[in-house]
Structure 1
Amino acid sequence: MHLPKLTDAPLYTTGLGAAYVGDSLELLRQLPDESVNLVMTSPPFALQRQKSYGNKDEHEYIDWLAEFAELVHKKLKADGSFVVDLGGAYRKGVPVRSLYNYRVLIKFCDEIGFHLAEEFFWYNPSKLPSPIEWVNKRKIRAKDSVNTVWWLSKTEWPKADVSKVLAEYSEKMKKLIKNPEAYYTPAKRPSGHDIGSSFGKDNGGAIPSNLLQIPNSEASSSYLKLCKEVGVSAHPARFPAKLPEFFIRFLTDPGDLVVDIFAGSNTTGFVCENENRNWLAFEQSREFALASVFRFVQEKPMSEIKNIFSLLAAGEKVDTLGLAQRSII
């Protein structure tokens, strides 16, 4: 598959993708309709305090994000998906939760035409207690450790294969599969459902739940180390690679096109590169887009990494894998 050609030149390319700096609305408009298999993204959240990566006030946030969703709906293939990671927030000045992430969901479905294929919840056990006022100081609220992740589809039948994201069996389940008779006696449940002896079969893993437990603690990651080494700011709101990895494996096939419209440090593109998916990354901040190249060059010598970064900063075209400029049509 060739990547769609955009008016703007990419900041850098790899063997499978291209990263662009610019307004995602303008970049999205340039994509052919019904050309994208998956849009996987984590937009700036509707937080009370302004962040360095840009975020809107809660009251204007929903309409702002809907502009992107309308274009995403047009660009997705009929069996394509739109996965949006949204963190929760409190209403200003009071210990009451905002409903913005749920209003986003309802607007996208009722007004734009998306379908809620399934709701997921990303449990991040390493998330710090917040907001400080209600959790740490007054101690009247519990720690918020879950993000809502909406899996939205263009039609009722999006491409999906849960067998690609099977979870590792528990130790107890491994023993049961090895010797079913010793650990389980088939019987009807109180509901009347007869599950028989199917638990003795090894299916390669367990069906995952819609609660994704993924810690977001990459303090020692190569990306952060290289940002520090080169002296540039790392993106402050990165999601862990395991999050986009789950949905990319679940909802796409090798060679499909995945787009991240709020790419940040380009975790999505990096996962796509490893999973043999084509990708496009759109990021408005040139600073963060420049630093995202570190995800693709971490195996190179430091002198070469610094040279690549300098060339990008100077406006030169760079192919991070040292290949010929990939075909973009």
Structure 2
Amino acid sequence: MAGFKIEGLRPSYTTLGGAAYCGDSRQLLEALPDDSLDLVMTSPPFALQRHKVYGGLDQADYLDWLMDFARLVFAKLKPTGSLVMDVGGAYQKGVPARSLYHLRLPIRFCDEIGFFLAEDFYWFNPAKLPSPIEWVNKRKIRAKDSVNNLWWFSKTEWPKADVSKVLAPYSDRMRKLMEDPDKFYKPAVRPSGHDIGKGFAKDNGGAIPSNLLQIPNTESNGGYVAGCKLVGADRHPARFPARLPEFFIRFLTDPGDTVLDIFAGSNTTGSVAEIEGRRWLAFEERQDYLAASVFRFMPKGTPAAKLQAAYDSVSTGESTDLTCYMTQVEMFQAVAE
């Protein structure tokens, strides 16, 4: 699988399947040809994020700022392509009343740019800590905020999608029903007059998933975290779990398609895309975040000296081919893990 490089631009690092670039995503997007991307999967810094962490804008400016990126993404997507954006909600500053910025986002994307809202998804993170502290822990007047919006936008009404690629495991009850439908179910005509029969008892390899994705964000001992500890690098403060981009990459793309993350952070999206046999691009403004993200592409058991050398190379601004730090066997092992 040949990686996707941007002509005339120097990547921070490359792998077998993709390339990561440091810079303003708006400028990097301009360098891409129109109609060239199959999926943009990303999580922008949320509005009202603490400025001391890694940036973030006040509500008044946040949507205008995101619109600049969205207009460019729209031009670069193929007609069958999609944009999936993870957007967390927030409270208004200083009061226990919710902001509406994340709800205005899809309205503006569709009305002003021309996107279609293909479907709204919701990411439930059962491991999320109670927040906001003031209203949940101290005053105890609000429930824990543990759901993010995942807006799936498409360039046309008919984007590429195949839900059969992301089927969920059957429940134990459903498996028993499929084994012996007569024992557990007797067909009946519904009040609507529709006779559902027993066709549902067929084993299709899994159940159709819902638009509520329950995925805990509990990564604490993976290669990325271990690598950061080894070199003394700060971990990205807002990483999403690999299963999140995995779901949409499988759902909305085919092997060989091109996936981009315009706010790559620790480059979870790129590493998942590589595992899934997609070409990928990662855009990130901070060199230190990109440098630490190389650990996602190094196989388990990579010697500490190689991890340090790869990190140092990207940190100092060298354009680094990560495959040079591994044998061919090790590289395929990294992709498979």
Specify the alignment match of 1:153 in structure 2: 154
Give the drift of 1:202. Answer: 0.2
Q: C-alpha separation between the residues in 2 aligned to 1:303 and 1:122?
A: 38
Question: Is the Cα contact below 8 Å between 2:3 and 2:19 reproduced in 1?
Answer: no
Alpha-carbon deviations, 1:191-220, whole Å to 9, x = none?
433211012200000000000000001122
CA gap of 1:259–1:232, structure 2 versus 1, over 3 A, is: same
* Paired amino acid for 2:288: E
Query: Secondary structure at 2:74's aligned position in 1?
Result: helix
Query: Secondary structure at 2:108's aligned position in 1?
Result: helix
Question: Is the Cα contact below 8 Å between 2:3 and 2:18 reproduced in 1?
Answer: no
The answer to whether the aligner puts 1:309 opposite 2:311 as a matched pair is: yes
Specify the alignment match of 2:323 in structure 1: 321
Q: C-alpha separation between the residues in 2 aligned to 1:48 and 1:313?
A: 25
* Paired amino acid for 2:82: S
CA gap of 1:202–1:146, structure 2 versus 1, over 3 A, is: same
Q: Write the mapping of 1:190-205 to structure 2, written as runs, cut at 5 A.
A: 190-205=191-206
The answer to whether the aligner puts 1:37 opposite 2:38 as a matched pair is: yes
- Which moves more between the two structures, 3-12 or 236-245? 3-12
Query: Secondary structure at 2:97's aligned position in 1?
Result: coil
Specify the alignment match of 2:86 in structure 1: 85
% identity of equivalent residues: 63
Query: Secondary structure at 1:135's aligned position in 2?
Result: helix
Specify the alignment match of 1:280 in structure 2: 281
Q: Write the mapping of 1:217-228 to structure 2, written as runs, cut at 5 A.
A: 217-228=218-229
- Larger relative contact order (Cα-Cα within 8 Å, sequence gap ≥ 6): 1
Give the drift of 1:48. Answer: 5.3
Give the drift of 1:162. Answer: 0.2
Q: C-alpha separation between the residues in 2 aligned to 1:118 and 1:83?
A: 10
CA gap of 1:246–1:188, structure 2 versus 1, over 3 A, is: same
Q: C-alpha separation between the residues in 2 aligned to 1:5 and 1:288?
A: 20
Query: Secondary structure at 1:119's aligned position in 2?
Result: strand
- Structure 1: 5+ residue runs without aligned partners? 325-329
Question: Is the Cα contact below 8 Å between 1:214 and 1:243 reproduced in 2?
Answer: yes
CA gap of 1:2–1:309, structure 2 versus 1, over 3 A, is: closer
Specify the alignment match of 1:102 in structure 2: 103
Q: What TM-score do the two structures reach when normalised by structure 1?
A: 0.95
Q: C-alpha separation between the residues in 2 aligned to 1:97 and 1:146?
A: 13
Q: What TM-score do the two structures reach when normalised by structure 2?
A: 0.93
* Paired amino acid for 1:273: E
Give the drift of 1:24. Answer: 0.3
Give the drift of 1:22. Answer: 0.4
Query: Secondary structure at 1:280's aligned position in 2?
Result: strand
Query: Secondary structure at 2:137's aligned position in 1?
Result: helix
Q: Write the mapping of 1:222-237 to structure 2, written as runs, cut at 5 A.
A: 222-237=223-238
The answer to whether the aligner puts 1:128 opposite 2:129 as a matched pair is: yes
Alpha-carbon deviations, 1:221-248, whole Å to 9, x = none?
2211110111111100000000000000
Question: Is the Cα contact below 8 Å between 2:127 and 2:218 reproduced in 1?
Answer: yes
Give the drift of 1:74. Answer: 0.2
Question: Is the Cα contact below 8 Å between 2:290 and 2:314 reproduced in 1?
Answer: no
- Which moves more between the two structures, 192-201 or 65-74? 192-201
Give the drift of 1:73. Answer: 0.3
Q: Which structure dedicates a bigger proportion of its chain to helix?
A: 2
Q: Write the mapping of 1:238-277 to structure 2, written as runs, cut at 5 A.
A: 238-277=239-278
Specify the alignment match of 1:24 in structure 2: 25
Q: C-alpha separation between the residues in 2 aligned to 1:51 and 1:37?
A: 34
Q: C-alpha separation between the residues in 2 aligned to 1:45 and 1:242?
A: 20
* Paired amino acid for 1:319: D
Question: Is the Cα contact below 8 Å between 1:120 and 1:150 reproduced in 2?
Answer: yes
Q: C-alpha separation between the residues in 1 aligned to 2:43 and 2:24?
A: 16
Question: Is the Cα contact below 8 Å between 1:298 and 1:305 reproduced in 2?
Answer: no
- Which moves more between the two structures, 185-194 or 232-241? 185-194
* Paired amino acid for 1:19: A
- Which moves more between the two structures, 288-297 or 173-182? 173-182
* Paired amino acid for 2:197: G
- Structure 2: 5+ residue runs without aligned partners? 328-337
Q: C-alpha separation between the residues in 2 aligned to 1:108 and 1:9?
A: 31
Alpha-carbon deviations, 1:154-199, whole Å to 9, x = none?
0000000000000000011111111111111111233433211012
* Paired amino acid for 1:233: D
The answer to whether the aligner puts 1:71 opposite 2:72 as a matched pair is: yes
Query: Secondary structure at 1:18's aligned position in 2?
Result: strand
Query: Secondary structure at 1:52's aligned position in 2?
Result: helix
Query: Secondary structure at 2:311's aligned position in 1?
Result: helix
Specify the alignment match of 1:184 in structure 2: 185
Give the drift of 1:35. Answer: 0.3
